[in-house]
Amino acid sequence: MGWVLRIFWFAMIAYALVSWVPSIRGRWSDYVARIVEPVLNPVRRVIPPLGGLDLSFLIVILLVGYVLRSLPPAYCYYGGP
């Protein structure tokens, strides 16, 4: 389970980079958006963007990071017992 969250966390970082540096956008960024957007959309319905700042991204990435830190090391590297 930990490796799935870790891959999702890296997908979130890639998604943020593409939004900040549009010149690196490519076909791969569409696939990253397909992974990230279904998680961000429900959070956006609860917490809409404030003044152009999308807080849903920050909330989701902090939550994923918290869950990753809360998991025992065996779940993060070996897939669990």
Would you state the pLDDT for residue 41? 94
Which residue stretches of the chain are H helix? 2-20, 27-46, 55-70, 73-77
Q: In this structure, what are the phi and psi dihedrals at residue 49, rounded to the nearest 5 degrees?
A: -60, 140
Q: Which residue, among 32, 25, 31, 42, has the nearest Cα to 10 in the 3D structure? A: 32
Can you give the pLDDT at residue 17? Answer: 92
The model's pLDDT over 32-53, given as tens digits with 9 standing for 90+, comes to 999 999 999 999 999 988 888 8
- Listed by start position, the domains of the chain span 2-77
Sign of CA dihedral 14, 16, 21, 26: positive
3-state SS, residue 56: helix
Provide CB contacts within 8 A for 6, sequence distance 6+: 68, 76
pTM, 2 dp: 0.78
